[in-house]
Structure 1
Amino acid sequence: MALSIELKKFLIKNGACEVGYADITNFTPKPPLNTGVVFYITYPKEIIRNMENAPTPEYLKELISLNSRLDYLGMKCEEFLIDKGYNAYAQTKKRLGTDFGEFNSFKLPHKTIATRSGLGWIGKSALFTTKNYGSALRLSSVLTDAPLDIGIPILKSKCGKCMECMNACPGGAVSGLNWNYKLKRNEFYDDKKCEKYALKVSEENLGKPDTVCGKCIFACPHTQRYIKKS
């Protein structure tokens, strides 16, 4: 479909690394916006290469930068679709703010749309994971009623028997269970344990407590293949 191709080219031109489209009819928080547009930007390899032992100031700075760039992309996508005559709502960090639920998750997480678009799966560390970049990326999404070419959903993990992120997690947040779309996050991953350790390690290494760590991102074999590429 021409619109799907045009929108993908537009988002990549404005900074996205990859773009996908998903049918979110059964769980959209804003009916009748039943299609999700999802996109991500990857972390630079050199930032992740230095993340083996602890979060770094460079990692935190890049995380903040990526969030800002993703919000910009979301609004550009929203404007693009509205200009084409459709309704759209960008799920920007600025709009969603700190509107987290009980388990530190939004009503419709970006990664849910991403798995339904076929771009990747949820790793054992509860991070969105792709074959080409591991989990060294950040996501955002836009809800719309535009007719777009829907991807083939990925409904179960591709991590297999790999336990690298579980072994790398000092907080014990990763259970080792493989994700599938029927599981709730807290059934295979403990966000409270992750948060507790992240606050500790960030204070030690960044000078102030924050919910950043990154050890599971670094440990993922798919991430390792990405950062080792020349």
Structure 2
Amino acid sequence: MALSLKLKKFLLKQGASEVGYADITDFTPRPGLNSGVVFFIAYPKGIIKTMKNAPSPEYLEELISLNSRLDAVGMKCEEFLIDEGYDAYAQTKKRLGTDFGEFNSFELPHKTIATRAGLGWIGKSALFTTLKYGSALRLSSVLTDAPLDFGKPILKSKCGKCEECKNACLGGAISGLNWNYKLKRNDFYDDKKCEKYALVVSEENLGKADTVCGKCIFACPHTQKYLKRL
């Protein structure tokens, strides 16, 4: 479909590393907006290489930068679709805020759209994971009524027996259970344990308590393959 290709080219030009489209009819939080546009920006290899003793100051700085850039790309996507004659709503961090509720998640997570678009799966760390970048990426999404070419959903994990992220998580937040689309995040991952440990390790590494860690990102074998790829 011409619109799908045109939008993807536009978003890649705006700085996205990858773009996908998903049918979100059954779980859209905004009635009528049944198509999901999802995109991510990968962390530069040099930033991830500082993460052996995560979190690093470089990682935190890049995380903040990526959030701003993703919001900007999301708004550009919204404007593009509106100019094409469709309704659209960018799920930016600025709009959604920082209060994600009891389980640190908002109504329709970007990674849910990303799995339905076929871009990757949810790792045992509860992070969105791809073969090309591992979990060294950050996502955003836009809801729209535009007719788009939907990807083939990925509905179960590709992690298999790997437990590198579980072993790297000294907070004990990762159970080791493989994700599938029927599971709730807290069925296999404890966000409270993650947050508790992150506060400690960020104080040690960054000099201030924050809810950032990243050990599981660095540990993922697919992330390591990304770092070694020329």
Task: Give the TM-score category using the shorter length.
Answer: over 0.9
SS of 2:51 mapped into structure 1: coil
- Conserved? CA contact 2:71–2:94, under 8 Å: yes
Q: Kindly provide the CA deviation profile for residues 149-192 of structure 1, in whole angstroms up to 9, marking residues without a partner as x.
A: 00000000000000000011000000000000000000000000
Partner residue in 2 for 1:3: 3
**TM-score normalized by structure 2?**
0.99
Following TM superposition, by how much is the alpha carbon of 1:99 offset from its aligned partner in structure 2, in angstroms?
A: 3.3
Q: 2:229: which partner in 1?
A: 229
Residue matched to 1:79: 79
Within a 5 Å distance, the mapping from 1:18-37 to structure 2 comes to 18-37=18-37
Paired position in structure 2 for 1:51: 51
Alpha-carbon contact 2:133-2:222 (below 8 Å) kept: yes
Amino acid aligned to 2:13: K
The alignment's C-alpha RMSD in Å is 0.6
Q: Which amino acid aligns with 1:145?
A: D
Is 1:38 the counterpart of 2:34 in the alignment?
A: no
Q: Secondary structure at the match of 1:50?
A: helix
Shift of 1:215: 0.4
User: C-alpha distance in 2, partners of 1:103/1:213?
Assistant: 17
Partner of 1:96: 96
SS in structure 1 of the partner of residue 62 of structure 2? helix
- 1:16 maps to 16
Structure 1 stretches of 5 or more lacking a match?
none
Partner of residue 206, structure 2: 206
Give the unaligned 5+ runs of structure 2: none
Determine helix, strand or coil for the equivalent of 2:141: strand
Partners of 1:102 and 1:10 in 2: CA distance: 36
> 2:170 — aligned with what?
170
Deviation at 1:207, TM superposition (A): 1.1
Give per-residue Cα distances to partners, 1:53-79, cap 9 Å, x unaligned: 221111000000000000000000000
Shift of 1:97: 0.5
User: What is the CA-CA distance between 1:88 and the residue it aligns to?
Assistant: 0.1
Whole-angstrom CA distance in 2 between matches of 1:137 and 1:213: 14
Q: What is the alpha-carbon distance in structure 1 between the residues aligned to residue 165 and residue 101 of structure 2? A: 25
Amino acid at match of 2:113: I
Q: Which amino acid aligns with 2:225?
A: R
Deviation at 1:52, TM superposition (A): 1.1
CA deviation digits over 1:20-70, x for unaligned, max 9? Answer: 000000100001100000000000001111101221111000000000000
Match for 1:139: what amino acid?
L
Distance 1:169 1:57 in 2: 19
- Distance in 2, matches of 1:90 and 1:50, equals 31
The separation in 2 between residues aligned to 1:77 and 1:53, in whole angstroms, is: 36
Moved over 2 A (4+): none
Q: Which residue pairs with 1:190 in the alignment?
A: 190
Counterparts of residues 144-159 of structure 1 (less than 5 Å)? 144-159=144-159
1:102 Cα offset (Å) = 1.2
1:101·1:107 contact (CA, 8 Å) conserved in 2? no
